């Protein structure tokens, strides 16, 4: 019988199969939040944010809501008190639960989910792991972020494949689905093997019509042999936790996102969802600790492990901040309790209210489309005659936390989320009247 990594580690006292008692603290919170459960005041009170500050930089890093925070502390205390045995009792069960929760949220089998530390890790693992060769090409855009561009550069350096960048629009606030889709399809060549895009641009807040792009690429692929088909990869982090859309509805092959932004998950956690053909097109980069077949093959001296690629096989091994990974399930549970449709509706309502308020200022130029079909929670803008860094600095004098998009052409970004309210929008509008 093949020995699995879990069996060996159990025998060596490092990890095991024993199930601990349920450590969920969701129903046993020491302090009940304010308001009716599920109401927006109740949601707001789940966060230990400084109350006198308007926090509108969700798209950078999240504050942990109470159920996530308490789960982390529960696991941290257990690890600190008895690290080896607590790890033995909980690691396999809670890691599997986190993968299952991510799969349920995205509508895919958990075997198609890889657990990572961030969006950056997920993109790097996927794009540098692509099975490409000289003569193949990856198509991306000038609008994508550094992480996509740098991962593709490293991929090209390793494989000899080419990378080509195109522009999708002249003005993101005025673009259309037809313009974006047609520019992508027109740019696809016989050598194109991957289209690498971003769901919601972190510079302008433009939300790409990913489902329409995927449908157009399916038509392209219908005329191609299986080995020549075009894959679709998405940096999904700024739609993940906002939009009420799952992996299958988007229609992409690679979905990479961090969980510590709009999902309000534990800091230092992320996921990758991969389609069946995506798993065939990419190879793991870092040894897995969660695929027993790989470890068994090593023990037995086999040249390679049996079976095809999987999400667990794509999951980087190594010892992690386990208390954060294990608390990931609570973040998904919180979104289910609030309701994904309600989260999307509330985020869009606040973002639209903010865009409407900004549009009333003659000295403010909105960069994010006002149509919610082409935007999510990021709201980008410029103030005439004032550098974005200066705008952010002045907003902080009003205790409003904004950020600057780290691009060659910077913009001010405000990102209302379910932890904000209408009064926050009013404070931002009032502060900008003194700036613009």
pLDDT score recorded for residue 339: 96
Is residue 141 within 8 Å of 165, Cβ to Cβ? yes
- The rounded distance, in Å, linking the Cα atoms of 372 and 392 is 24
- The rounded distance, in Å, linking the Cα atoms of 431 and 436 is 9
Give every CB contact of residue 319 below 8 A, 6+ residues apart in sequence: none
pLDDT at 29 over 70: no
pLDDT score recorded for residue 34: 63
Is residue 203 within 8 Å of 213, Cβ to Cβ? no
The alpha carbon dihedral of 99, 100, 101, 105 has a sign of: positive
Is residue 25 within 8 Å of 70, Cβ to Cβ? yes
Rounded mean pLDDT, 381-405: 97
Residue with tokens 């941290």: 76
- Residues in a beta bridge with 165: 140
Percentage of residues in the chain having pLDDT higher than 70:
92
Give the pLDDT band of residue 33 (cuts 50, 70, 90).
low
Rounded mean pLDDT, 195-219: 98
- The rounded distance, in Å, linking the Cα atoms of 113 and 311 is 4
- The rounded distance, in Å, linking the Cα atoms of 242 and 224 is 34
pTM across the whole model: 0.91
Task: Indicate the Cα dihedral angle 423, 424, 425, 426, nearest 10°.
Answer: 50
pLDDT at 22 over 80: no
Q: What is the DSSP letter of 229?
A: P
- The rounded distance, in Å, linking the Cα atoms of 278 and 434 is 51
Residue with tokens 């919601």: 200
Which of 28-32, 154-158, 340-344 has the weakest average pLDDT?
28-32
DSSP string, 65-111: BHHHHHHHHHHHHHHHHSHHHHHHHHHHHHHHHHHHHHHHHHTS-GG
Which of 35-44, 395-404, 419-428 has the weakest average pLDDT?
35-44
The β-bridge relationship of strands 379-383 and 400-401 is: unpaired
Alpha carbons within 13 A on the beta-carbon side of 226 = 5
pLDDT score recorded for residue 429: 95
pLDDT at 334 over 50: yes
| 4 vs 67 pLDDT, higher one | 67
pLDDT at 6 over 90: no
| Distance between start and end Cα atoms, the chain | 72
pLDDT, mean over the chain: 92
Helix axes 177-187, 210-221, angle to 10 degrees: 30
pLDDT score recorded for residue 359: 94
Q: What is the DSSP letter of 39?
A: S
156-192 residue pLDDT tens: 999 999 999 999 999 999 999 999 999 999 999 999 9
- The rounded distance, in Å, linking the Cα atoms of 105 and 113 is 11
342-359 residue pLDDT tens: 999 999 999 999 999 999
What is the helix (H) or strand (E) element at residue 177, kind and residue range? helix 177-187
Helix axes 146-159, 119-128, angle to 10 degrees: 20
Residue with tokens 């392209």: 220
220-268 residue pLDDT tens: 999 999 999 999 999 999 999 999 999 999 999 999 999 999 999 999 9
Give the pLDDT band of residue 12 (cuts 50, 70, 90).
very low
User: How long is the chain?
Assistant: 436
What Å distances lie between residue 127 and 122, 165, 216, 276, 278, CA to CA?
9, 15, 22, 16, 11
Rounded mean pLDDT, 124-152: 98
pLDDT at 117 over 80: yes
Which of 2-6, 74-78, 296-300 has the weakest average pLDDT?
2-6
The β-bridge relationship of strands 192-198 and 162-166 is: unpaired
What is the helix (H) or strand (E) element at residue 428, kind and residue range? helix 422-433
């Amino acid at each position: 019988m093949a020995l699995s990594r879990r069996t060996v580690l159990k025998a060596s006292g490092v990890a095991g199969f024993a199930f601990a008692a349920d450590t969920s603290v969701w129903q046993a919170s020491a302090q009940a939040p304010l308001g009716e459960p599920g109401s927006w005041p109740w949601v707001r009170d789940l966060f230990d944010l400084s109350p006198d500050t308007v926090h509108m930089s969700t798209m950078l890093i999240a504050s942990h809501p109470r159920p996530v925070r308490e789960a982390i502390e529960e696991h941290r205390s257990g690890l600190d008190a008895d690290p080896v045995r607590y790890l033995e009792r909980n690691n396999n069960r809670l890691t599997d639960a986190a993968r299952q929760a991510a799969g349920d949220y995205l509508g895919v089998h958990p075997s198609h989910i890889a657990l990572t530390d961030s969006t950056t890790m997920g993109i790097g693992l996927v794009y540098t792991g692509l099975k490409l060769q000289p003569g193949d090409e990856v198509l991306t855009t000038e609008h994508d972020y550094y992480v996509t561009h740098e991962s593709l550069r490293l991929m090209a350096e390793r494989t000899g494949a080419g990378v080509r960048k195109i522009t999708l629009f002249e003005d993101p606030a005025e673009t259309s689905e037809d313009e974006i889709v047609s520019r992508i399809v027109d740019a696809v060549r016989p050598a194109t093997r991957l289209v690498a895009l971003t769901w919601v641009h972190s510079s302008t807040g433009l939300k790409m019509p990913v489902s329409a792009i995927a449908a157009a690429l399916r038509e392209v692929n219908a005329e191609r042999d299986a080995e020549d088909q075009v894959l679709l990869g998405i940096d999904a982090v700024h739609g993940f936790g906002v939009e009420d859309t799952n992996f299958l509805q988007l229609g992409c092959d690679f979905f990479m996102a961090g969980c510590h932004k709009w999902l309000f998950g534990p800091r230092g956690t992320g996921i990758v969802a991969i389609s069946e053909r995506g798993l065939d097109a990419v190879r793991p980069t870092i040894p897995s600790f969660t695929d027993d077949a790989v470890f068994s093959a090593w023990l037995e001296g086999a040249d390679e492990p049996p079976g095809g690629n999987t999400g667990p096989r794509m999951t980087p091994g190594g010892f992690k901040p386990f208390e954060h990974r294990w608390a990931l399930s609570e973040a998904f549970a919180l979104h289910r309790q609030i309701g994904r449709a309600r989260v999307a509706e509330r985020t869009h309502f606040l973002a639209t209210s903010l865009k409407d308020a900004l549009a009333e200022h003659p000295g403010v130029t909105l960069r994010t489309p006002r149509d919610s079909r082409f935007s999510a929670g990021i709201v980008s803008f410029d103030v005439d005659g004032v550098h974005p860094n200066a705008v952010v600095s002045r907003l902080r004098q009003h205790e409003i936390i904004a950020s600057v998009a780290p691009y060659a052409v910077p913009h001010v970004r405000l990102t209302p989320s379910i932890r904000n309210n209408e009064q926050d929008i009013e404070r931002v509008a009032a502060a900008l009247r003194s700036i613009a």
